[in-house]
Amino acid sequence: MSNVPADLRGELARTVPLSSLELEHEARASDGTEKVLLRTADGRPVESVLMRYRDGRRSLCLSSQSGCPLTCTFCATGRMKFGRNLTASEILDQALHFRRKEAVNHAVFMGMGEPLLNLDNVLAACERLPDLGITARRTAISTVGWIPGIERLAGEGPPVRLALSLHAADEALRSELMPVNDRYPLPDVLDACRAWSEARREPVFVEYLMLGGVNDRHEQAVALADALQPRAMFKVNLIPYNPTDAQFEGSSRNAVDAFRAALDAQGVRATVRLTRGRDIDAACGQLAAR
């Protein structure tokens, strides 16, 4: 606004910023994936990712919290100190950061934090994402299995998709990987997901992180298939692990393929997610933790 005095322009920049988030660091991978570390006005770290695909998809991975209180052992965010819930504006400003560069058309709440612990603000952001070009049908909310939030999603908010981070069908192993399983056991979580699927008439996407020597054996694939009943309500997405420390290693390509084949033999629909952004620490929490 060159017709506005410079002093007033400076005051506007300080008091009416275009974004509630300040860019601290950004990186772009060889596959086109772009990740940013942002800061809130009170100094909280927030991570967001833009994944570019050859078919034209421009998918955002959005954070709902700064840090996370649920301490999943394989996640860098889980080892951070929990900060706070993000406001709806702070969630939208992550999307706007990338939208100012290019068009976007998909989003998943799978960044820092558990979205269902901040559901009011997440749903408020989902109501506005279509203004940026991301419809409800192309928006997914990923949860570790927070049952009260799943139950709310069955009847509240726009018709977004539901994704469940499962990672083990064995109760003891799942509790070891995801302590929230002690509070909300997997059978109860799957019942809540089935109720959501019936209400929304959509399948639940099951996210299964492939951890070498931990959850990638044939019998574990069979156990997973046995848990996902009825088959039509679930689709499995096998996720190659992006290592965050030396505690876990990703499954080999052969192990991932064998696991998928075992699921297929049991009649479970399964895909393998493309690995994105590995060379820029694109897994949740990696930039902020460093």
Go through the domains of the chain in sequence order and give each one's CATH number. 20-289 (3.20.20.70)
Q: Rounded to two decimals, what is the model's pTM?
A: 0.90
Q: Which residues contact 195 (CB under 8 A, 6 or more apart)?
A: 150, 151, 154
**Inter-residue contact 264 to 270 (CB < 8 Å):** yes
3-state secondary structure at position 49: strand
C-alpha to C-alpha distance for 273 and 195, rounded to whole angstroms:
26
The tens place of each residue's pLDDT in the chain, 290 residues long, gives 789 999 999 999 888 888 999 999 999 999 899 999 999 999 999 999 999 999 999 999 999 999 999 999 999 888 888 999 999 999 999 999 999 999 999 999 999 999 999 999 999 999 999 999 999 999 999 999 999 999 999 999 999 999 999 999 999 999 999 999 999 999 999 999 999 999 999 999 999 999 999 999 999 999 999 999 999 999 999 999 987 766 899 999 999 999 999 999 999 999 998 776 555 454 554 445 55
Pairing between β-strand 84-85 and β-strand 65-66 as defined by DSSP bridges:
antiparallel
Phi, psi of 63 (to 5 degrees): -95, 145
Q: Which residues are catalytic?
A: 47, 284
Nearest to 111 by CA among 176, 194, 197, 21: 21
Structure tokens at 93: 């400003």
Q: Are 98 and 128 in contact (CB under 8 A)?
A: no
Contact 206, 235 (CB under 8 A): yes
